[in-house]
Amino acid sequence: MTAIREEFISNPQHKTRTKNSRKRILLWMAIALVVIFCLAPIMWQILTSLKVNQDISQVPTVYFPTRLTLNHYIDLFSRRPFWRYILNSAFVSFISTAFALAIGAPAAYALARLRPRGNQFILASVLIVTLFPGILLFQGLLEIVQVLRLGNNYLALIIPYTAINLPLTILVLRSFFLQLPKDLEDSAKIDGYNTWQMLIQILLPMTIPALVTTGILTFIFAWNEFIFALTFITREDMKTIPVAAAQLSGASTFEIPYGPIAAATVVGTLPLVLLVLFFQRKIVQGLTAGAVKG
């Protein structure tokens, strides 16, 4: 019996299985910690939006609501035109995303295939622009908005959002155009397609994952942007969701409306979550297809 036990302990396969099981346990523990770390703020906002005011202000903190309520969501839409804020954000985000893709796709194709004079200089300039945060453009954009009298105009948001997202759009789409076989373009030219017809009818349908990926990134940036929307838009009926959520007020000057703010955060985040879930497969394809050549 002792010999069998010693043989079992000294068995290399047993040691390997033990090590693998420990690695799996550690891996799943690490995954669980990362998931909790990422989802904890979201869950906290959701729970706060469902708490009554007594639970929110109670000391010590009540982590889970003792009573569930939807009053914060009801007040959000009954006391303020929150549907209007959602439509404003959606309009600005969709238009700026469409402009970024419409301008970025031909520019990316030109840099990838047509190779204009100064191609490397243009590409280096695009890369350098991506290193600058958007806040550095704030003072210059403010002067432009004042000169062109674009205050309280959606163009004051659409134009900066489009410009800021163009470098990323060009770089991502350029990498996809480089992956496409050159034979497709040669065959299209033989069939009588010009450059625009070839780009729109043949090449763009093959880069849909890249278009979806860059489009969603542009949309998320425009949806969440705060500084430009706060400064360039002052009319109440033209505000976007981030500004409207930040300017929620309580019943008195000294009251911080944690419940309504949490509800506004959940409502403002839900469309982005649904958008990403709907295009999840295309996003994964867009992020991974350009990484492998062939």
Average pLDDT over residues 153-166: 92
C-beta separation of 134 from 96 below 8 A: no
Q: How far is Cα 193 from Cα 168, in angstroms, rounded to an integer?
A: 28
At residue 251, φ and ψ (nearest 5 deg) are: -70, -25
CB atoms < 10 A from the CB of 98, how many?
15
C-beta separation of 244 from 80 below 8 A: yes
E strand segments, 134-243: none
Residue 232 in this model has a pLDDT that exceeds 70: yes
> Would you place residue 8 in the very low, low, confident or very high pLDDT band (cuts 50, 70, 90)?
very low
2-11, 106-115, 243-252: which has the highest mean pLDDT? 106-115
Percentage of the chain modeled with pLDDT above 90: 21
Residue 97 in this model has a pLDDT that exceeds 80: yes
Average pLDDT taken over every residue of the chain: 83
C-beta separation of 111 from 170 below 8 A: yes
Residue 210 in this model has a pLDDT that exceeds 70: yes
Dihedral Cα 208, 213, 216, 221, nearest 10 deg: -140
- Chain-centroid distance of CA 53 in Å reads 32
C-beta separation of 96 from 218 below 8 A: yes
| Tokens 């079992």, residue located | 8
C-beta separation of 210 from 282 below 8 A: no
Could you report the per-residue pLDDT of 58-93, keeping only the tens digit for each?
777 767 777 888 888 888 888 888 899 999 999 999
> Would you place residue 225 in the very low, low, confident or very high pLDDT band (cuts 50, 70, 90)?
very high
Average pLDDT over residues 29-52: 88
C-beta separation of 262 from 48 below 8 A: yes
